[in-house]
Amino acid sequence: MIERDNKWIEVASKLKTLQDKIKFLDIEKKKLSKLLQELSEFKDSCGGGFTYKAIERIGTINYKDIPELKDIDLSPYRSKPINIWRLSEIKQFTDIL
């Protein structure tokens, strides 16, 4: 792994701060959504120019649970791999702060 300069650290710090804010906002979003569900008595509702509706999404298929597929190699059916970058804090540095 390559140790980077101050500019890199500055950008990484900004990204981490933004990730933390998004995590906080996502928690707040879930709380407000749950409260609005309760206030809607779990029924489609509207008021003040807003509508709030329940939309059912079809569940995902757990291919590991299909016995007929146990011995079949599904890799030829996979799409191309994608790269995902993840920023994480090094524990020794977070303990100091």
pLDDT digits (tens, 9 = 90+) for 24-79: 999 999 999 999 999 999 999 999 999 999 999 999 999 889 999 989 998 898 99
Find how far residue 24's CA is from the centre of its chain: 12
> Could you tell me if 26 and 19 are in contact, meaning their C-beta atoms sit under 8 angstroms apart?
no
Assessment of whether the complete model's pTM goes beyond 0.85: no
Exposed, middle or buried: residue 40 (CB in 10 Å: 0-12, 13-18, 19+)? middle
